[in-house]
Amino acid sequence: MPDTIEIRRLRVSTFIGVPDEERANPQTVLVTVTMTPGQNFDALADEISRTIDYYAISLEIEALAAVRSRRLIETLATDIANHLLGNHPLAKVAITIEKHILPNTECVAVHIERSR
């Protein structure tokens, strides 16, 4: 199993939903990101400059979610995956987004995985 870095259930505010009324107000979704760096942790030599800055990535995800409205959480997941792979030395990324929208459920979730 490759080395991974995970951000679990990041609270992200976004305008999302199929009906216009649902997108009219911000909603909080939970984003979990599992990132496989291009190199194993053994190569890091305890240097932060050689690893993935997960704080910076959390800020990028928050900004990406806020930049425009979307109808689908699937679209948001794809946008996040494409951004991370295009801007960071990652071999693979997995994104799970949880939306608390349906009554009588814990959440609705989508999960995608993308790699270089």
Q: Tell me the domains of the chain and their CATH numbers.
A: 5-115 (3.30.1130.10)
| pLDDT one digit per residue (tens) for the chain, 116 residues | 789 999 999 999 999 999 999 999 999 999 999 999 998 999 888 888 888 999 999 999 999 999 999 999 999 999 999 999 999 999 999 999 999 999 999 999 999 999 98
Q: What pLDDT is recorded for position 97?
A: 98
Which residue type occupies 113?
Answer: E
Q: What pLDDT is recorded for position 45?
A: 87
Q: What pLDDT is recorded for position 27?
A: 95
Rg (CA), the chain: 15
Please name the residue that has the structure tokens 């979990």.
Answer: 32
Global model pTM greater than 0.75? yes
DSSP the chain: ----EEEEEEEEEE-B-SSHHHHTS-EEEEEEEEEEESS-GGGGTT-GGGS--HHHHHHHHHHHHHSS-BS-HHHHHHHHHHHHHHHS-EEEEEEEEEE--STTSS-EEEEEEEE-
DSSP 67-93: SS-BS-HHHHHHHHHHHHHHHS-EEEE
Q: What pLDDT is recorded for position 10?
A: 98
Q: What pLDDT is recorded for position 44?
A: 86
